[in-house]
Chains A and B, each alone.
Chain A
Amino acid sequence: MALLLVERGYRDVQPLQGGFDAWQALGYPVEPIEDAELPAALAAELNPAG
């Protein structure tokens, strides 16, 4: 992904060491995900009432 950005001319692209897990483990600020979608099959399983 970083390569694609560099291809598009972006400089200063860095991966986050440890990924999201590391960020969350340190208790750093997070916010709820608003814009995600679940595949239909999975959604049915997680929300049997709906």
Chain B
Amino acid sequence: MVQIFREYGYGLLFVAILAETLGLPIPSYPLVLLAAALAAELHFSLGGVLFVGVVAALMGDLTWYLIGRRRGRPILRTLCSISLNPDSCVSRTENIFSRHGLKSLLVTKFFPGLNTVVQPIAGMLRISLLRFIPFDLGGIVLWIGSAVTLGVVFRGQVEWLLEWLDALGRLGLLMVGVPFVAWVLLKWLERQRFYRRLERSRISCVDLKNLLDRGDRVTIVDLRSGLGYRPGGVKIRGSMHIPPQEFEARSKEIPPDRPIVMYCT
């Protein structure tokens, strides 16, 4: 195990962090911790580990930012299918991002559900790179820095643990492999639960129609743009139109005192 690390070192770290940042379920945090703990034996420099990690994560985050900027909403669906982190699309993201906006980038890397979602959302909302990058970088440095720090502080324990696993031989591999597989399975189950929850959070056409027939006050927002919303076309009766590119500026037009239903094509 350690041999592999020694040989491919920085490269492995880079790939792992980039992969996790792009959404794959790779636990790169423990790898960074390991690298820092074993820095002496592996001839790593802590600065090198930090640098490699930051560059990899930044590349990943910027990729998502650009994808969000180019593609918009459909990206969130793809994210769910790659990352096995279902919560990323709904509740926890809403809570943190809703309260802190860009500052949430400082902590999202610590929450498996959030680490790949805020970046494309920022791109989607066309938040300027000049504002995005400092916060994103801050979050990355905090995340990798903490792994490095923990690795250094608990160096002794990590070495002891590795020796112990080594001594157990194949059993040691099992003890590492089984939790990992269990973790992936858990994430997959979470994702199934999430999709069911997502379906429940939407409102069906029938229910909306009933609300309207009852006379309930509801604001309906038409989000379509481009050819979806064109002269000669139709929209839901009573809806207001705000295309995605104008959304940040015009969302204040939506009255806050009643339920809101939004739709695209």
Contacts and interface: CB of A to CB of B under 8 A. Distances in A.
Interface residues of A, number: 35
Given A20-B222, A33-B229, A14 B203 contact: yes
Interface string A15-45: 1111111111010111111011110001000
A30 B203 contact: no
B159 interface: no
Contacts of A38: 230-231
A20 B209 CA distance: 13
Contacts of B94: 2-3, 6
B256 A1 contact: no
Interface in B222-265: 222-224, 227-238, 241, 244, 247-248, 251-252, 254, 256, 258-265
Contacts of A31: 234-238
B97 A7 contact: yes
28 contacts: A1-B244, A1-B247, A3-B93, A3-B121, A5-B260, A7-B101, A8-B251, A8-B252, A12-B260, A13-B261, A14-B202, A15-B263, A16-B202, A16-B208, A16-B261, A17-B204, A17-B205, A18-B204, A19-B263, A20-B236, A21-B265, A26-B209, A28-B209, A31-B238, A32-B234, A33-B235, A36-B229, A38-B231
A32 B241 CA distance: 12
Interface of A: 1-10, 12-24, 26, 28-33, 35-38, 42
B125 interface: yes
Q: Secondary structure of the A side of the interface?
A: mixed
The 10 A-B residue pairs whose C-beta atoms are closest, nearest first, are A16-B263, A29-B237, A30-B234, A17-B202, A6-B98, A7-B98, A12-B259, A14-B203, A31-B237, A6-B94
Given A1-B247, A16-B261, A33 B236 contact: no
B97 A3 contact: yes
A23 B236 CA distance: 8
Contacts of A6: 94, 97-98
Contacts of A33: 229-235, 241
Given A3-B93, A6-B97, A20-B236, 6 more contacts: A3-B97, A14-B203, A16-B262, A23-B208, A31-B234, A33-B231
Contact of A5 (B203, B238, B254): B254
A3 B167 CA distance: 50
B78 interface: no
Interface in B4-44: none
A9 B256 contact: yes
